[in-house]
Amino acid sequence: MSALKEALAHSETLIGTEVGVSDWITVDQEMIDQFAKTTHDMQWIHIDPERAAAETPFGGTIAHGFLTLSLASRFAYDCFNMMPGQVMGINYGMNKLRFLTPVKAGSRLRGRFTLQKVTARNATDMLRENLLTIEIEGVETPAMVAEWLGLAVFKD
């Protein structure tokens, strides 16, 4: 049996189960400021702690939604190893992405992955769909939820 077929068969047994929980990572003001500079998104609710404390209901600055999303790759590194015969993983996109709760500066986040679907696309590629939930420590409603599509590429 090919490595792809073995990985597909194994992955199918995991559908509907939580397949990974990452370590916590702190989203501090320095990270938010660096992200703002990199993306040229200098909106004051992200980079001006005094104004954000005075003029928003958040009590201070909040992270960019796309900063929260960008941490998905970091969380995946904590949760997933290459499968036997896999040569690479490729980000294939997101479905139904929602930002539910603002991430206040100083918050700790982690990612939870639940496998929803796997599909062999051809002789070398398997598409994996995971529900990704990014949690904020101590907050009931997650920061973000999305269906994340990843392509696992295997040797031919």
pLDDT at 156: 74
How does the average pLDDT of the chain come out, rounded? 96
For 40-68, what is the mean pLDDT?
98
> Could you tell me the two tokens for 34?
């660096």
pLDDT digits (tens, 9 = 90+) for 101-119: 999 999 999 999 999 999 9
Q: Give the rounded percent of residues in the chain with a pLDDT score beyond 70.
A: 99
Residue with tokens 């047994």: 13
1 falls in which pLDDT band (50, 70, 90)? low
Fold of 3-27+65-154: Thiol Ester Dehydrase; Chain A (3.10.129)
DSSP H or E run through 39: helix 29-39
For 115-154, the pLDDT digits (tens) are 999 999 999 999 999 999 999 999 999 999 999 999 999 9
Q: Is the dihedral of CA 82, 86, 88, 90 positive or negative?
A: negative
**Model confidence pTM above 0.85:** yes
pLDDT band at 80 (very low <50, low <70, confident <90, very high): very high
Q: Which long-range contacts (CB under 8 A, 24 or more apart) does 33-39 make?
A: 35/63, 35/64, 35/66, 35/67, 35/70, 36/64, 39/64, 39/66
pLDDT for residue 69: 98
Share of the chain above pLDDT 90, in %: 97
